[in-house]
Amino acid sequence: MRRRLLIAIAAGVPLAAAVYLPTASAETQTPASATPLNCAEVPVKAPSGTKVESVTAVRDAGGTIKGTGLLGGEATGVPAFCKVTVTVTHPGEGDHAKISTWLPEKGWNGRFQALGGSAYLAGDNGVGMGNAVKSGYAATTTDAGVGDALDVSWALKSDGTVNTTPLKNFSYRSQHEAAVVGKQVVASVYAKRAAYSYFTGCSTGGREGYAEAQRYPDDYDGILADAPAVNWDEFEVATLWPQVVMNNEKTYPTGCELDAFTNAAVKACDTLDGAKDGLVNDPSRCDFDPRRLIGTKVVCDGKELTITAADASVVRKIWDGPRTTSGKKLWSGVPITADLKGLAGSTTTPDGTVVGAPFPVPQFWVTNWLKKDPSFDISKITYSEFTRLFKQSQAEYDKVIGTDDPDLSGFRASGGKLLTWHGQDDQYIPTQGTVEYRKQVERELGGAKKVDDFYRVFLAPGTSHCGLNGQDGSADGLAALTSWVEHGKAPKTLPATLIAADGKPVQRNLCRYPEVPRYKGHGALDAATSFRCAVPSRH
């Protein structure tokens, strides 16, 4: 179970896994002086509403940086850097948030980069920071005074009420304070301000990037916020829906059976883009009916299983997404081409009983912040109670952590650029949430053309949660962002390497939403030049 959990969480790593290993984005601006870096404690002015508790500075020889906590990982070949740690508190609130800034001794590219977190981890675990330093950036992250990726011990006070201070820190406040402090540290150590400032993150980190654009539009010149966990108050409850369905229907398809449904959907909708390549470029148009698999035999762990009508009904409800008992749609379901095992997992108890195995992130949100009872058994949630929980989460937490304010006029006015890619096969954060947010911004700010001037979204076929950070291929979003910010070259497409059904890499140009890749009818299927971007026809 622990290994499966590690893999699941790592798949969602914004982390840094960090794969922010920019190429063009690492182009050196004005290198720091060749004189030795003075790695000493620097004066730090406390951000508004905070008090600086301590400042430390130590030299780190670099080399291999081991990622801390559950996510682990490592960054290799990291050059020597100065590590400045600033601890701040909000007087009277009893919190202690650490802000860590790593400054390369040599070869600073003149840029500042802040890194976000993953799941309930507010900041980077060291891997992304190491890779940022390796690419010439002065990098900053914050722990927001909370814990590791699945540590929610800070959620409730001893009296059982919600601990609002760390929630506010985790939601938005600490990221802004990290921007303020990190820039100060950079200016003090290098005796010059960074020429450009960037924020990078995926998942929770992506949400934090959107929070910055919405609440503190002057903090960054550019924000790379991928697979963003925006609409947090809604999608966190919504992603518990697969477990609610299985528990209420008392049907738990095996992993092999779930894979059979996903594979059948991919096969049925593969050619919608004109190419049979194992990649579904627009899953929202795929209308595969899971009932077509009823009676199909599936071999799992040496046993032959037969897919039942009950199995198909469960999958159909999961794909459709959460609804009220009267049929009103609450949120998008798991994308039809995504791995169902992430949210519809199950396990067998020692006595042979099959039970649900919920993904911890939404489970913890419901038990701690909604039920205010860490021991609450989510398997008891009925369909009607699910609706109540969904609406409770909206009412209590949208203003704190919803991160879905479509008014980005301040960020636009500041000259900032916001770039996002989101995997079409995201098994943890429904892709349509990002699409709907983008539509809301268009309605708020005067249409797609005006929004494209500063905010662009790219959807990645065949890509799981944060998968372009090295799991399902790669894309250098930071290179595209720096080119946009510093040279005014807005990305029309985002070059990426994707992994096709046969496991081999293929080159694709991710299309700017709402366009999707379409095969030209000739040319190699692994070549980006064989595809063009087109607005999908109505389905």
Enzyme catalytic residues: 203, 426, 465
User: Burial of 305 by CB count in 10 Å (0-12 exposed, 13-18 middle, 19+ buried)?
Assistant: middle
Instruction: Using alpha carbons, select from 188, 194, 221, 84 the residue that is nearest to residue 142.
Output: 84
Gap between the Cα atoms of 22 and 136, Å rounded: 10
- The residue assigned the tokens 């406390």 is 46
Instruction: Using alpha carbons, select from 270, 335, 286 the residue that is nearest to residue 465.
Output: 335
Gap between the Cα atoms of 15 and 343, Å rounded: 21
Q: Which two tokens stand for residue 461?
A: 């076929």
Q: Which two tokens stand for residue 154?
A: 């800070």
Cis check: omega of the bond before 430, within 30 degrees of 0: no
Q: Which two tokens stand for residue 184?
A: 């100060």
Alpha-carbon distances, residue 510 vs 241, 420, 462, 528 (angstroms): 30, 11, 11, 9
Alpha-carbon distances, residue 109 vs 25, 29, 47, 104, 184 (angstroms): 10, 5, 26, 9, 17
Q: Describe the chain by its helix, strand, coil percentages, rounded to 5.
A: 35, 25, 40
Gap between the Cα atoms of 373 and 382, Å rounded: 17
51 and 89 Cβ atoms separated by less than 8 Å:
yes
Contacts of 219 (CB under 8 A, 6+ apart): 176, 179, 180, 197, 199, 212
DSSP states along 27-92: --SSPPPSSPP--S----PPPTT-EEEEEEEEEE--EEEEPPTTT--EEEEEPPEEEEEEEEE-TT
Cβ neighbours around 274 below 10 Å, total = 16
Cβ neighbours around 186 below 10 Å, total = 26
15 and 125 Cβ atoms separated by less than 8 Å:
yes
Q: Please, what's the b/e burial string for 389-398 (b: 16 or more CB within 10 A of its CB; e: otherwise)? A: bbebbbeebb
Q: Which two tokens stand for residue 59?
A: 């030299």
Helices 255-269, 309-320: axis angle to 10 degrees equals: 60
167 and 157 Cβ atoms separated by less than 8 Å:
no
Q: Which two tokens stand for residue 270?
A: 């593969």
382 and 248 Cβ atoms separated by less than 8 Å:
yes
